[in-house]
């Protein structure tokens, strides 16, 4: 009987980690050696455990999935990468995943049947042995990875702009609500969680960064007043002078939340309201 596949799960989203762990356990013949929550942990875990396969989230704060691979190669020029399966909520990463010699990609939420097929691919490559399996990145793939990283840095979180549907998904009371953008008062991020507030609803966004959320919003209506806050200009009730020529925004939500304006955005505030 062949040894089970050894695997790492790297994802900054707790529910995604739990779901993938559950599906891998159910698939059988897979031993998850460790679970990481960010790109920095991923690099160390890959070098420590040297697994057969890594299930690697594409988008993570600080060091995304593509950058993780680059970092591992930079630290160990002679080393070969494990098999790589990218996990992503964005279909546009699929082609780019194969450009860097990934075995496969999985779209979130994960599909059990697709995962089984992916594991079959991994087993074939692992069984073929290091001499034949394309575990590492060749020179051409490294060049593509470099180009991809530059594109991600230049364009922000998503290489392809997310289409604006006019709706925002808000998770509240175990329900996924579709909220009209015009009803969103503001969004904020704390501890890696994005909260979305309207006059009647308060819940969490399925986005991971405010930049990602901004991709979905109308740039004419929404303004990044502070690194931790995005506000809907139409829902600003009052501009409050604050300490040392700074300002706060009092919103028209139920709590009349006060939001700071960063010093770098003070000029934009004055332009918006002719202050």
Beta-carbon contacts of 141 under 8 Å, excluding residues fewer than 6 positions away, are 99, 100, 101
Is the pLDDT at 204 greater than 90? The verdict is: yes
Q: Per-residue confidence at 272, pLDDT binned at 50, 70, 90?
A: confident
Which value, to the nearest 10 degrees, does the dihedral of the CA atoms of residues 151, 154, 156, 158 take?
A: -20
74: Cβ contacts below 8 Å, ≥ 6 apart: none
Poorest-pLDDT segment among 73-87, 153-167, 205-219, 241-255: 153-167
Instruction: Give the tokens for residue 225.
Output: 């007043």
pLDDT of 161 higher than 50: no
Dig out the tokens for 245 from the structure: 């020529």
CA angle 73, 126, 83 (to 5 degrees): 35
Residue 197 CB coordination number (10 Å)? 23
> Which comes out higher in pLDDT, residue 232 or 150?
232
The answer, yes or no, to whether residue 93 has pLDDT greater than 60, is no
Segments making up each domain of the chain, as ranges = 5-155, 167-273
Sign of CA dihedral 122, 124, 127, 133: negative
Q: How far apart are CA 59 and CA 115, in angstroms?
A: 19
Greater model confidence, 143 or 117: 117
Across 124-148, average pLDDT: 57
In the CATH scheme, what is the homologous superfamily, with its name and number, of domain 167-273?
A: LytTr DNA-binding domain (2.40.50.1020)
Note the CATH number of domain 5-155. Answer: 3.40.50.2300
pLDDT tens digits for range 8-20: 999 988 888 999 9
pLDDT band at 61 (very low <50, low <70, confident <90, very high): low
For residue 157, pLDDT beyond 80: no
Please check the confidence at residue 97 and state whether its pLDDT lies above 80. Answer: no
Nearest alpha-carbon partner for 237 in 252, 226, 248, 215: 252
pLDDT in tens, 176-200: 999 999 999 999 998 889 999 999 9
d(CA 185, CA 236): 8
| Averaged pLDDT, 220-243 | 91
Q: Dump pLDDT digits (tens) for 29-41.
A: 999 999 999 888 8
Contact 9, 36 (CB under 8 A): yes
**Residue 48: pLDDT band with limits 50, 70, 90:** very high
179 and 216 Cβ atoms separated by less than 8 Å: no
Residues above pLDDT 70, as percent of the chain: 78
Q: What is the model's pLDDT at position 167?
A: 86
Closest by CA to 203, choosing from 179, 228, 227, is 179
């Amino acid at each position: 009987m062949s040894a089970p596949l050894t695997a790492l799960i790297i994802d900054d989203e707790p529910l995604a980690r739990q779901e993938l762990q559950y599906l891998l356990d159910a698939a059988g013949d897979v031993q998850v050696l460790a679970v990481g929550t960010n790109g920095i942990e991923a690099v160390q875990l890959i070098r420590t455990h040297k697994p057969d396969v890594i299930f690697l989230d594409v988008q993570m704060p600080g060091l995304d999935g593509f950058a993780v691979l680059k970092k591992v190669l930079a630290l160990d020029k002679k080393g070969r990468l494990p098999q790589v399966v990218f996990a992503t909520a964005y279909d546009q990463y699929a082609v780019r995943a194969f450009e860097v010699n990934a075995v496969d990609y999985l779209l979130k939420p994960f599909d059990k049947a697709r995962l089984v097929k992916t594991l079959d691919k991994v087993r074939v490559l692992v069984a073929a042995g290091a001499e034949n399996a394309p575990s590492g990145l060749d020179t051409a793939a490294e060049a593509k990875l470099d180009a991809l990283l530059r594109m991600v840095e230049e364009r922000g979180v998503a290489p392809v702009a997310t289409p604006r549907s006019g709706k925002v998904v808000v998770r509240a009371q175990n329900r996924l609500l579709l909220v009209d953008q015009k009803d969103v008062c503001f969004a904020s991020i704390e501890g890696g969680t994005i909260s979305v507030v309207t006059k009647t609803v308060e819940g969490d966004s399925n986005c991971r960064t405010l930049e990602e959320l901004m991709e979905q919003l109308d740039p004419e209506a929404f303004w990044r007043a502070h690194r931790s806050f995005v506000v809907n200009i139409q829902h600003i009730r009052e501009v409050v002078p604050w300490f040392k020529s700074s300002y706060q925004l009092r919103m028209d939500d139920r709590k009349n939340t006060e939001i700071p304006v960063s010093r770098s955005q003070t000029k934009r505030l004055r332009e918006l309201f002719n202050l």
